Structure 1
Amino acid sequence: MRIYTQQTQAREWLQQYRGRLPVFACILGFTATGLIPGISAAGATPEDRQYTAIADAEFLVNGPLPQPKYPLPPLVVGASPVLISRAVVEACDLPIYLFNAGLPQPPAVPAIDLGGIPANCLTSGNALPLDIVQQLFAQGWQWGKTLATRVAGGYLIISECVVGGTTTALSLLTGLGIAAAGKVNSSHPNCNHAQKWEIVRVGFQRAGWEMGKES
């Protein structure tokens, strides 16, 4: 395994966990931001992207099936990252915990419902009601503690599948006052930084917030 950064910390981590198996958690969500044309490559069309997280969850658990309920969406370029995740999960026989943080419809495989709802587009300036945000945060904190007790000396892998998630992350980082413009990647081979930043800017404007602080 090659280490690219934080050499000392990485070596210590590898020494501690080498040979130990993790628990794999995947949080599934949806935001209408993912339906904006061109915002994401995780589905060829906005219609396809409505089902990306649900299809990924089914493939992650079941692997390739002749007739899945939700087939993986067609992509303009590349292949779905869930192909790699499924290969690792299957080869290492990892336990999987799926969490539904707010999907338009439940996945075809068992998932823990966190009581979330699909998020509005970031450009609305009101992606989620504050009480839902607080509930999801509390649920995440509690489930983090719970899963930490189930790793049996191993470690926890936390993953996510949210189309439009990196644009959401850019918005969150900006709201926290972190200068993240041009630094958050996307599913496109060449990142659409300008489009992502414009979406964040419009959302902040409609919410009545300045970049990084409430107005």
Structure 2
Amino acid sequence: MPNSQIRIYTQKEQGEEWLRRYRGGLPVFGCVLGFTETGLIPGISAAGRTPEDRKYTACADAEFLYYGPEHKPQHPLPPLAAGASPVLISRAVFESLKIPVHLFNAGLPYPPAVPLIDLGGASAKCLSGGAAMEITTVHHLFKQGLLWGERLAANMQESYVIFGECVVGGTTTALAILTALGIDAAGKVNSSHPICNHGQKWALVQAGLEKAGGRGQ
């Protein structure tokens, strides 16, 4: 698309059609907050300097995203080993463009001090054990995702819905799910580290899939 500030890297025709349809529309943003004990493994994530810090990363992100920097938080943003929290960028964009924000609790051990939509989920155990979440909870959260996606999109014919997430250990979880589905994702799923810890993530995934009786190489 000539003179566009948005670059399309794949599925060019589909991307250009999407831009033509929704350019200028104001989206709605939904952020799903969750927790997995995978995120407490030393070195697995940079979203909090210590495992104790990472217990509250989603709470801190939710408060900052909703209230901004001038609010005195119950859970301040955790110290990081490098860089800055991505929520700083997200908050700046949403505040500047006046984008409505909806926060969803998919299973936090400690609820953040912000208005939330509770999905009735539960925190996940470490995926290396091969049974991170009860299958009934998985089915319930999947149905909740479909339900709320439809609700938010119901009156958005001229615009669109953006969904994001805050789950420390989420990329390792994504790697495990993709691998279990038979998708060759090893070395292709990034992390919050400046240099991705692919080896550590892959070892955890392999351990979990072996115990679960799933696929693995």
TM-score by length of 2: 0.95
Residues 178-200 of structure 1: per-residue CA shift (max 9 Å, x gap): 00000000001111001000000
Match for residue 126 of structure 2 among 118, 121, 135: 121
Residues 119-165 of structure 1: per-residue CA shift (max 9 Å, x gap): 00001111000000000001101111111113351100000000000
Distance in 2 (alpha carbons) for counterparts of 1:77 and 1:115: 34
TM-superposed deviation, 1:208: 2.4
Distance in 2 (alpha carbons) for counterparts of 1:20 and 1:116: 32
Q: Is the 8 A contact 2:179 2:215 kept in 1?
A: no
Match for residue 144 of structure 1 among 143, 149, 166: 149
Q: Is the 8 A contact 2:37 2:125 kept in 1?
A: yes
Q: Which moved more, 1:49-58 or 1:3-12?
A: 3-12
Corresponding position: 1:54 with 2:59: yes
Q: Is the 8 A contact 1:3 1:10 kept in 2?
A: no
Match of 2:77 in 1: 72
Corresponding position: 1:2 with 2:6: yes
Q: How has the CA–CA distance of structure 1 residues 152 and 90 changed in structure 2, closer, same or farther, with 3 Å as cutoff?
A: farther
Q: Is the 8 A contact 1:123 1:202 kept in 2?
A: yes
Q: Post-superposition, which runs of at least 4 consecutive aligned residues in structure 1 deviate over 6 A? A: none
Aligned length: 212
Match for residue 155 of structure 1 among 152, 160, 166: 160
Distance in 2 (alpha carbons) for counterparts of 1:211 and 1:194: 14
Match for residue 204 of structure 2 among 192, 199, 202: 199
Let me know the Cα RMSD of the aligned residues.
1.2
Distance in 2 (alpha carbons) for counterparts of 1:150 and 1:60: 24
TM-score by length of 1: 0.95
Q: Is the 8 A contact 1:120 1:126 kept in 2?
A: yes
Q: Is the 8 A contact 1:24 1:157 kept in 2?
A: yes
SS of 2:148's equivalent in the other structure is: helix
Distance in 1 (alpha carbons) for counterparts of 2:59 and 2:208: 26
SS of 1:210's equivalent in the other structure is: coil
Distance in 1 (alpha carbons) for counterparts of 2:213 and 2:21: 47
Match for residue 108 of structure 2 among 103, 107, 123: 103
TM-superposed deviation, 1:79: 0.4
Percent identity between the aligned chains? Answer: 62
SS of 2:104's equivalent in the other structure is: strand
SS of 1:98's equivalent in the other structure is: strand
TM-superposed deviation, 1:66: 5.3
Unaligned runs of 5+ in 1: none
